[in-house]
Structure 1
Amino acid sequence: MALYEAAVELFSARDYDSVSVDEICVKAGVGRATFFRLFGSKAGLVEEFNRRLAVTIQDRVAGARASSLKALQIIIDVIREAWMSNTPFLKRMVQEYLRQLESPYDTRSSASADANQQGGRALVEIAVRHIMQGQAKGEVARDLDADFLGLCFMNQLGVAIASWITEGGDDLDQLRAKIDQVSRVMLRGMTP
């Protein structure tokens, strides 16, 4: 998507806050109305980031022909790699995105808000699919609710990232350690 690529290029060259929606639109050759219909704000670009993560995860898992638990570890690894290589603008974008979610006066239409959450849902669906496959193979405890567990799995990764951001979010070793802790706890806790 040209808008996302234009934004990433601009965010890589300059601080997130100094890049305007107008600049992103001009670089992508797209009108402001299209940008706001698709994303709602600059922070809405985080969902395109998540959608792209989902595609990368699916490709990497398919290429690895991994067990279900290994597939879940691949999800963690891809998310960690993406954050480690895109930290400056992702950190600021997620801060703004989370602040918007907390707003009781969300002015976006429900259709726009729904569209802006597709990337996150895709990540949860991938986790659920691999948990269910693991249950069928006996790798994951069968008495666990796969839908709930998939949501917990992705939310815990989000909590690790949010915790790192609220603590200052400058030390990448701390980010890696937080994600690794989630990985260890979640994957061990799923086994029968």
Structure 2
Amino acid sequence: MSTAADMGKSSASRGEGKNATRRERKKERTRREIYEAAMALFTEKDYDAVTIGDICERADVAKATFFLHFPNKAALLSEFNEKLTQSLMDQLESFEGTATEKFRFVVNELASEWQASAPVMRKMTREFIDSAPTLEQGKAANDSLWALTTKIIREGQKTGEFRKIAPAYRMAAAFVAASSALTLEWTHLPDSDTSQSHNELLDLFLNGLTSGPEDGKQT
């Protein structure tokens, strides 16, 4: 399983594809180098103690270059999510299982990675929220996860495994929104494990609120 520091070295996304221009590839490399420098510094010392100047010095870029890619330090959250989701997409290429099994795999891996980087991610997420990002910035932070879950749900709908009560993209948006709310709660609970809350969410999402016969026996 990849770690936060390793995710920047996984298979490239966005501008590093075969059809990308030289300028786009250079821009993506710079963005990745900034991200890797930041994550390394966050591991070495407390997130709050790391300045944008520190990140720029480690990445060997000017501050103006940093701000071309990220409006502030907390905006690195979007890159963390992008790299993590890309890593999961790569792993799913050879994953043999049902849509439900893929969904559980994604949720477990996401929770595990966030928990592994909990000291950094709690502070980064709180700062991201406190900086009052625009609607577009907030959406961009979860775009890759939304796309991945949409793909899995659509697959499950095509095979008849999932109900077609709504378009896959809308169901994925509902899951991502609920997941984001749980993540925000997690940032304020230092002793909590995000794995439990997200597995509870997944169970709710897959099985709904309506109780079955077995549930009734337990009440």
TM-score bracket, shorter-length normalisation: 0.7 to 0.9
1:189 maps to what in 2?
A: 208
Residue 168 (structure 2) pairs with residue 137 (structure 1): no
Residue 182 (structure 2) pairs with residue 163 (structure 1): no
Deviations 1:9-48 (A, max 9, x none): 1111111111000100110111111211211000000000
The aligned length equals 178
1:123 maps to what in 2?
A: 145
Deviations 1:129-169 (A, max 9, x none): 11111100001101222111101111221111111223xx3
Residue 35 (structure 2) pairs with residue 4 (structure 1): yes
Residue 100 (structure 2) pairs with residue 64 (structure 1): no
2:196 maps to amino acid: A
Share of identical aligned residues, percent? 25
Give unmatched runs, 5+ long, in structure 2: 1-31, 210-219
Give unmatched runs, 5+ long, in structure 1: none
d(CA) in 1 for partners of 2:198, 2:153: 19
2:81 maps to what in 1?
A: 50
d(CA) in 1 for partners of 2:140, 2:177: 15
**Larger relative contact order, structure 1 or 2 (CA cutoff 8 Å, min sep 6):** 1
2:59 maps to amino acid: A
2:203 maps to amino acid: R
TM-score scaled to structure 2, two decimals? 0.75
1:84/1:172 contact within 8 Å kept: no
1:53/1:79 contact within 8 Å kept: yes
User: Displacement of 1:176 after TM fit?
Assistant: 2.4
TM-score scaled to structure 1, two decimals? 0.85
Residue 63 (structure 2) pairs with residue 41 (structure 1): no
SS at match of 2:172: helix
1:131/1:140 contact within 8 Å kept: yes
SS at match of 1:63: coil
2:44 maps to amino acid: A
Q: Of 130, 143, 149, which residue of structure 2 is paired with 1:99?
A: 130
User: Displacement of 1:117 after TM fit?
Assistant: 4.9
2:10 maps to what in 1?
A: none
Bigger share in helix: 1
d(CA) in 1 for partners of 2:141, 2:181: 17
Q: Which structure: larger Rg?
A: 2
1:177 maps to amino acid: Q
Runs (4+) off by over 6 Å = none
1:100 maps to amino acid: S
**Cα RMSD (Å):** 2.0
Q: Of 43, 47, 63, which residue of structure 2 is paired with 1:16?
A: 47
Deviations 1:49-107 (A, max 9, x none): 010111111022222122211111122012111111100011100001011236xxx6x
1:170 maps to amino acid: P
d(CA) in 2 for partners of 1:59, 1:67: 17
d(CA) in 1 for partners of 2:141, 2:183: 17
d(CA) in 2 for partners of 1:117, 1:37: 19
Q: Of 8, 13, 26, which residue of structure 1 is paired with 2:57?
A: 26
2:108/2:199 contact within 8 Å kept: no
SS at match of 2:190: coil
